[in-house]
Amino acid sequence: MNALSLIKIFLRAYSKVVFDLPLWRIPKRIASDKALAQSMNRWRDRFVEIRLHVFSLKIGGLAFLFFLTYPLYSQEKDRWGELIKENTAVSLEEKQRQEDLEKEKYGTKYFSLNPGISISHTEAAIRRGDYVGLMTQSHYVKPNLFLEIKSRDFKISDWFGFQFLNSTSTFEMDNQEVDSLPDNITFNNFGLVNFINTRLQNRTKREDLGTDIKGFYSLLLPVIYLGKSNSDGFRLGVGGGIGYLEANGDLYIKNRNQPFLALSSVDSSGNFNTQEYVQNLGLYNYSAGLKDPLMLMNSLNNSTGYNQQTFAAIVLADGYTSRKLDLLTFNQLVFNLGVDPYSAAFLSYKPKTKEHISNRDALALNAFLEFPTIYGIKSKLSYTVISAHIQNQFHASLTNVTISAFYPIQF
């Protein structure tokens, strides 16, 4: 069997498959004529051969074009590969150059010194189990001095790292948070109804009681940050460590046990003993290291006894205002113990303390968001909490929200 026989067998098999389809099927009435059927078979074989030749020519043409263009394709492929490598190398080199320039411009080799100014809102609370005093600002924000020292970045990844931070800022608080009272309260309408309504609403208000606390704090803490290292951009950080808190001033502080001391100053016949109340409350406040008119009155008890006119003079000399009263004590004296509003207004006076805070072992927490540099000035928004133990078992906590602008000096 030679190659020609194989081709004929292939053609017959192919024609059999092709012309057995319904499209090429010959009607039976025509196939009955043998001569016509043979003629149709020859034409069918011829048609199949022509289609096979056309298919072979197409395959050959495609193969010819492939072998003709393959060298050109290989050259273009190599050329484009070299261009891609060259452009990639240039891009990487340019990227590295930009990073080096940015690091040289904004990076810190050792540390940076950042002096500036800030506007901040500061609140402080001085507490003990039975006492609480809240200081705040008359204006929501105040300008303060600001100084920050930052170490260089210790890179963990491209967008994550840590550094050491020392931040120092001043503060001043000249208002206190006290129970909110109607502005038209006087001795003649001393707000028994208004007082009850106000107390039920449990509102507080910033009031100027003539007190003031000034000072500064300094923090030293490790900070974890999220942001690109050694670059100018946004950076979010948080850290905790130790702090130094220095503050001086005075404030009125609420004695939570004052209403109960009033109840305990009732004699066996059910009458309120004013002299005993003054003595008990004065000694109680004295044991806590507080200075207040009741203490002074108690010191005069041995020689003069309780005298309302003398006590009123002491309170008025201190700058009397109804904002300095403990409303629960006033309510207890007037409603439950039958004390007249005039006397109750003096006897419910809050104790006053003079504070000198100097604590080197304060705990500090700081969170911040830094912004990109604008005309050489960098800015940040920070939230700081400082907690410290002070004299007479009191605890002071200071909260500060600051927007600062500073000029970084790199070293």
Which whole number is the average pLDDT over 351-356?
81
Yes or no: say if 215 and 357 are a contact pair by the CB < 8 Å rule.
Answer: yes
For the cut 90, the answer to whether the pLDDT of residue 157 exceeds it is no
Judged on CB neighbours under 10 Å (0-12, 13-18, 19+), 134 is buried
Residue 199 CA to residue 329 CA, distance in Å, equals 12
Least confident of 67-71, 225-229, 312-316, 379-383: 67-71
How do residues 160-189 score in pLDDT, each as one tens digit?
999 999 999 999 999 998 876 655 555 444
The pLDDT, as a whole number, for residue 371 is: 92
| Range 88-103 average pLDDT | 63
Structure tokens given for 148: 């920050």
**What integer is the mean pLDDT of 195-208?**
62
Average pLDDT over residues 33-57: 73
192 pLDDT above the threshold of 70: no
Give me the phi and psi of 352, to 5 degrees please. Answer: -120, 140
The whole-number pLDDT of residue 23 equals 45
- 158 or 321, greater pLDDT: 158
The angle formed by the CA atoms of residues 137, 205 and 184, to the nearest 5 degrees, is 125
Query: What are the sequence ranges of the domains in the chain?
Result: 33-73, 110-253+354-410, 254-349
**302-341: pLDDT as tens digits:** 555 667 777 777 777 777 777 788 888 888 888 888 888 7
Higher pLDDT, 21 or 315: 315
Rounded average pLDDT over 351-361: 82
**80 three-class SS:** helix
The top-level CATH class assigned to 110-253+354-410 is mainly beta
Q: Which residue has the higher pLDDT, 44 or 220?
A: 220
What is the per-residue pLDDT for 304?
Answer: 57
The reported pLDDT for the residue numbered 16 is: 53
Structure-token pair, residue 276: 């005993």
Token code pair at residue 378: 């960098």
Q: Which amino acid, residue 165? A: L
Q: Please state, in angstroms and rounded to a whole number, the distance separating the CA atoms of residues 258 and 282.
A: 10
Report how far residue 395's alpha carbon sits from residue 132's, in angstroms, rounded to the nearest whole number. Answer: 10
Helix axes 274-287, 293-304, angle to 10 degrees: 130
Q: Two tokens at 284?
A: 């109680």
Give the span between the Cα atoms of 190 and 206, in whole angstroms. 20
211 within 8 A of 126, measured Cβ to Cβ: no
| Confidence tier at 110 by pLDDT (50, 70, 90) | confident
300 or 308: which leads in pLDDT: 308
Is 97 strand, coil or helix? helix
| Cα→Cα distances 48→6, 28, 38, 54, 71, Å | 15, 22, 15, 10, 36
Distance of alpha carbon 190 from alpha carbon 182, whole angstroms: 10
Kindly indicate the confidence band of residue 200, based on its pLDDT and cuts at 50, 70 and 90: very low
Residue 193, pLDDT score = 47
Q: For position 296, what pLDDT does the model report?
A: 63
State which amino acid sits at residue 213: I
How far is residue 331's CA from residue 313's CA, in Å, rounded to a whole number?
A: 22
| Mean pLDDT over the full length of the chain | 77
Residues with Cβ < 8 Å from 253, sequence gap 6 or more? 126, 131, 132, 133, 290, 350, 351, 352, 353
Side-chain half-sphere exposure of 64, counting CA atoms within 13 A = 6
Look at 67-71, 98-102, 196-200, 367-371 and tell me which has the smallest mean pLDDT: 196-200
